[in-house]
Structure 1
Amino acid sequence: MASPAPAPTGTPPTAPAPPPMAAPAQPRPPLTTPPPPPPREAMVQRTAGSVAYICGGVAEDEQVALQSQARKYNMSLLFTQGARGEYLSDVDVKLMRGGKEVASFIADGPRCLLKAPSGTYNVRATYQGRTKTATVSTGGKNAQMRW
């Protein structure tokens, strides 16, 4: 007579897990790309610290508009390059006074008009990794920085 087989020891074999139940199908919104960010408006007065500024002047109409507003500002910067003085934009500008940064902005045009508290400022302007410095004073009106 055969004796019954001993019960196996250890963990019992596991059955494969049933596939997960799918959630009810929900309509998906159509795939769209987000709208591009609005363009930075040139010729709009902005503020950085205690300094109000406006930059532009690539096109002739912008040059005329800046000239008509110049009397409202007490400093002006012009960014150029090369022997012929081609206009630059996208210049990283830092205005320093007494060793402290008082304003920082990206010039979106070659000419920037600034309205700052009276005094003398050091300008650090960087274009394509090259930095130029200049000292400007309120009322001094124009400082040209050339690369």
Structure 2
Amino acid sequence: MGTLNERGLCMVTGMLLIAGTCALPAHAQIARPSTTPTPITTPAMPAAAQNLQTAAPQAPSRPPANPASPQEMLYYVCGSRGLDTHVTSPDPQHPFNLGVSFVSASTGAPLNEVSVKLRRHGRVLMDFVAAGPYCLFSVPEADYRVEGTYRGEMKFEIVQTGNMTAQIKW
């Protein structure tokens, strides 16, 4: 019978992963729904998708008011400014409703590779490294603490949904 690799099944799976990855913009980082509460990164990607990373957001911890209704998922996408013209939320029912950019306080230059945590009521809802200086979030209506750590220095902003122009400066 042989192993999956000997039968070529691992190669087919890898090709499907790469094909799915290539379909997304190389300048973006997109989160998808998952049952895992911690971020994950795809280990092997083609050169065209080096900045694309997949992370696993969580659903809110409180049960929904109506037990029959599903819990709302949280999504984010990060990349360069103008990202909102190229990418839409994976769930059309819940569009991106919060935007944050990371910039240098002295020059105004965009900052990449910022470690980001999104908190609500002290609980970390998302934890990832942003692939670009601008992140969009699809989250339930509320105030959120967006924390960014750049070169070891943590800064934060309290941002309410609907605000698409929040900035964290270093």
TM class, shorter-length: 0.5 to 0.7
Contact 1:124 1:133 in 2 (8 A): yes
> Would you say 1:49 and 2:72 are equivalent positions?
no
Using structure 2 for the length normalisation, give the TM-score. Answer: 0.55
State the distance in 1 between where 2:101 and 2:151 align. Answer: 16
Unaligned 5+ runs, structure 1 = 1-35, 58-62
- Larger RCO of the pair (alpha carbons < 8 Å, separation 6+): 1
In the alignment, structure 2 segments of 5+ residues that lack a partner are 1-42, 60-73, 90-94
Q: In 2, are the aligned partners of 1:79 and 1:88 still within 8 Å (CA)?
A: yes
Report the Cα distance in structure 2 between the residues aligned to 1:145 and 1:129, rounded to whole angstroms. 14
What are the within-5 Å matches in structure 2 for residues 89-108 of structure 1? 89-108=112-131
Aligned pair partner of 1:67 in 82, 85, 103: 85
TM-aligned CA deviation for residue 47 of structure 1:
4.2
Deviates more, 1:79-88 or 1:130-139: 79-88
2:165 counterpart SS class: strand
Shift in Å at residue 124 of structure 1?
Answer: 1.3
Query: CA-to-partner distance for each residue in 1:16-66, whole Å, 9 max, x for gaps?
Result: xxxxxxxxxxxxxxxxxxxx9325554677542242011110xxxxx4443
Aligned residue type for 1:105: F
Secondary structure of 1:49's aligned partner: coil
Q: Percent identity?
A: 31
Aligned residues: 107
Q: In structure 2, what is the Cα distance between the partners aligned to 1:67 and 1:83?
A: 28
Computed over aligned residues only, the root mean square deviation of the Cα atoms, in angstroms, reads 2.5
> What is the 5 A alignment of 1:1-147?
37-38=44-45, 41-42=50-51, 46-50=55-59, 51-57=74-80, 63-69=81-87, 72-147=95-170
Mark the CA change 1:128 to 1:44 in structure 2 (over 3 Å): closer, same or farther. Answer: closer
